[in-house]
Structure 1
Amino acid sequence: MMKPYNRKDFLQTSAILIAMGLTGSGFDFKKKMPLLSFSTLGCPDWTFQQIVDFAVDNKFDGLELRGILRELDLNKCKEFSNPESIAATNKLMKEKGLHFSDLGSSAAMHHSDATERKKNLDDAKRFIDLAQKIDCPNVRVFPNNLPKEVDRNITIDLITQGLIELGEYAKGSNVTVVLESHGELVYVKDLQKIMQAAAGNNVGLVWDIVNMWSVTKEPPATVYAALKNYIHHTHIKDLKVTDGKEHYTFLGEGETPIFEAIDILYKDGYKGYFSFEWEKLWHPEIEAPEKAIAHYSKVMRAHFNG
């Protein structure tokens, strides 16, 4: 059950914001829109052409690919299945003025079984290869629920070593392997430990603000101060709790401090994408993508223009 954002949290956040110079009259937006993208997790039944056209019509800058037509292995999608298709896809993106913000792989770093671990690392490497071919700066990997039968510190070390291996594989490219704050890996101290050991060698972090806040309730300013040097990409969403259960909402209609996090990133000069993650593939009951994704663009533009 989510706890309310109380006075203690507010005072702590305010103090950190003041220290960072993010409050007061100096906190004025420069009327420059940040980079907006959305994850194709939110539109699992759209063709690539539909995705591209919708992005253009709704003034997005980029696309975060997390599957096309429910195929999560992008290398199997027709748009990336051979050099000719890749060239045509790149041409379409250029003509439309779009960029790829991130490739969302299914590679999980928490496995200890040697066979499963190799499979996931190999999958991530294939995504790194594809990212280079389509000029995509980030490949997302993740952990989920950490195995109960394995000591937590051992699993964290495995995740760290996996990132180091992938970072070495990506060395010399423009691709960064980004670990998402996801599953049970949402505590600052754990993410700090991993990033301090692995980041900087083509390795960084996806800050999924709500994934973290919904579990830890740490104010965004606290999280950002600890992890800011590692953040290459973000996942933006909102939710509220009804009858003890989490429900995704349109941006700004939930109870998370999502705009606080967005403003902190923007004011401190974050140059990456604010990528909307509407988890329609995993939660088919939520609102249709043409409504939710369009709403995200409108709300973000109103926020930064107003």
Structure 2
Amino acid sequence: MTGIEGSSECPARTRDAGRNRLRRPADQVTVMKIGFSTLVCPAWDLPTAIAQAAALGYAGIEIRGLKGEFDLLRCAALAGNPGLAKKAFADAGIELIGLSPSVTLDSKKRSRLDESRRTLVEHIELAGQLGCPYVKLFAGEVQRFDHHDAALSRIARELNELVPTAVKHGVTLLIENTGDFTRSEDLWYLLDAVSHPAVQCCWNQTNAGTRREFPSVSIPRLGIRIAVSHICDADFDETGVLKAYKLPGEGQVGVTRQIELLRGVGHEGWLVFEWPKAWLPDLPDPSAALPAVAQFLKAELSKKQVVLSAYKGDKNAAKFAAKTSVSVPSP
């Protein structure tokens, strides 16, 4: 599949800027911001989420739903008056990270694909009105009588068709590794096939853990194409089946290593805490989880940033990995 990198939508200066990002000075500190998804606080309304983010030291919020409503186009607090919602975020000094509709582009049926594209276009338009930089969709699943590679090609084609609309509204589409496409090689295929800065990824290392893929594989492969990282933790059985969600740092995902590697590849995007409290009500309440996660993430980001090969510490580490380090200012 041919991307549209050479079109007017992707000027040469954009490609040059991307290459320049790889040449980070050794003494430059990577700065990431922390946020949370409203999936961790499904009963909250928008004012409560914004107020709690400000009080707990989060910099942004990703909207997955509000007060049990997951159709964001029906959320009056967002779609009813985008200007007012935009002002509420600005007044509180909190960023609206992205909109996360329940949409995939995995269907074999043309009618369902058209419906999904229309839904995404509506969310892109809403994001533009809100001044929101990202609209996220799920990678999806392989449908019955379909093939993994054929499904990936179809998803890439549909993403490619959405690029002009995203560019028009100043929005970047994020594809999250979910369902049957949880491996980094799946997302890399999609990103490479589209080959446009208006399509990046939201990386969920916990989902990758179900395929026994570790941060030392995922992060170097995707690199600066990761715009948002969903932060969660979990325990798995020996086959990769997720047994239980855990607060970041308390499970087997390797969240500390994930953040270390993200910093190592120059990630300057978001670390967003997300877990399915909406469907697993026994998970800790947001009043307990959000302060703990904020403290954990701030502690990780305050650590000395080591300049190293992305594979340092692994059995396939580069032999001449840099061993210098720089200090990170206290937040």
Measured against the shorter chain, the TM-score band is 0.7 to 0.9
User: In the alignment, is the contact (CA less than 8 A) between 2:237 and 2:243 conserved in 1?
Assistant: yes
Q: 2:134 and 2:45 mapped to 1: Cα distance?
A: 22
Higher helix share: 1
Provide the residue aligned with 2:71 in structure 1: 73
User: In the alignment, is the contact (CA less than 8 A) between 1:29 and 1:304 conserved in 2?
Assistant: no
What's the CA shift for 1:191? 2.1
Q: 1:72 and 1:37 mapped to 2: Cα distance?
A: 19
Structure 1 residue identity aligned to 2:249: G
Q: Does 1:262 find its partner at 2:259? A: yes
What's the CA shift for 1:201? 4.7
Q: 2:28 and 2:277 mapped to 1: Cα distance?
A: 32
Q: Does 1:168 find its partner at 2:164? A: yes
Provide the residue aligned with 1:252 in structure 2: 249
Q: 1:252 and 1:174 mapped to 2: Cα distance?
A: 35
What's the CA shift for 1:289? 1.5
User: In the alignment, is the contact (CA less than 8 A) between 2:220 and 2:261 conserved in 1?
Assistant: no
What's the CA shift for 1:250? 1.1
Structure 2 residue identity aligned to 1:190: D
Q: 1:255 and 1:188 mapped to 2: Cα distance?
A: 18
Q: Does 1:205 find its partner at 2:205? A: no
Q: 1:170 and 1:140 mapped to 2: Cα distance?
A: 12
What's the CA shift for 1:29? 9.8
Structure 2 residue identity aligned to 1:268: V
From 122, 130, 145, the equivalent of 1:126 is 122
What's the CA shift for 1:248? 0.7
Structure 2 residue identity aligned to 1:207: W
What's the CA shift for 1:39? 0.4
What's the CA shift for 1:261? 1.0
User: In the alignment, is the contact (CA less than 8 A) between 1:208 and 1:234 conserved in 2?
Assistant: yes
SS of the aligned residue for 1:218 comes to: coil
The two structures, once aligned, show a CA RMSD in angstroms of: 2.4
Q: 2:152 and 2:221 mapped to 1: Cα distance?
A: 18
Structure 2 residue identity aligned to 1:286: L
Q: 1:239 and 1:28 mapped to 2: Cα distance?
A: 34
What's the CA shift for 1:130? 0.8
What's the CA shift for 1:282? 2.1
Structure 1 residue identity aligned to 2:265: D
What's the CA shift for 1:192? 2.0
Distance 1:241 1:212, change over 3 A: closer
User: In the alignment, is the contact (CA less than 8 A) between 1:278 and 1:289 conserved in 2?
Assistant: no
Q: Does 1:225 find its partner at 2:235? A: no
Q: TM-score by structure 1 length?
A: 0.85
User: In the alignment, is the contact (CA less than 8 A) between 1:168 and 1:201 conserved in 2?
Assistant: no
Q: How does 1:107-186 map to 2 (within 5 A)?
A: 107-186=103-182
Q: 1:234 and 1:222 mapped to 2: Cα distance?
A: 15
What's the CA shift for 1:28? 9.6
What's the CA shift for 1:94? 0.8
Distance 1:280 1:155, change over 3 A: same
Provide structure 1 residue ranges, at least 5 long, that are not aligned to the other structure: 1-19, 21-26
Which of structures 1 and 2 has the larger relative contact order (alpha carbons within 8 angstroms, sep 6+)? Answer: 1
Moved more, 243-252 or 148-157: 243-252
User: In the alignment, is the contact (CA less than 8 A) between 2:220 and 2:265 conserved in 1?
Assistant: no
Q: 1:138 and 1:33 mapped to 2: Cα distance?
A: 19
What's the CA shift for 1:161? 0.9
What's the CA shift for 1:117? 1.1
Structure 1 residue identity aligned to 2:49: I
Provide the residue aligned with 1:35 in structure 2: 33
Counting matched residue pairs gives 280
Q: 1:33 and 1:202 mapped to 2: Cα distance?
A: 22
SS of the aligned residue for 1:93 comes to: helix
What's the CA shift for 1:153? 2.0
Q: 2:224 and 2:266 mapped to 1: Cα distance?
A: 12
Provide the residue aligned with 1:48 in structure 2: 46
Distance 1:278 1:73, change over 3 A: same
What's the CA shift for 1:301? 1.2
Moved more, 295-304 or 223-232: 223-232
SS of the aligned residue for 1:170 comes to: helix
Q: Does 1:239 find its partner at 2:253? A: no
User: In the alignment, is the contact (CA less than 8 A) between 1:171 and 1:201 conserved in 2?
Assistant: no
Provide structure 2 residue ranges, at least 5 long, that are not aligned to the other structure: 1-21, 304-331
What's the CA shift for 1:114? 1.5
Give identity over the alignment, percent.
24
What's the CA shift for 1:175? 0.7
Structure 1 residue identity aligned to 2:264: K
SS of the aligned residue for 1:81 comes to: helix
What's the CA shift for 1:206? 0.8
User: In the alignment, is the contact (CA less than 8 A) between 2:223 and 2:265 conserved in 1?
Assistant: no
Q: 1:162 and 1:291 mapped to 2: Cα distance?
A: 40
What's the CA shift for 1:252? 0.8
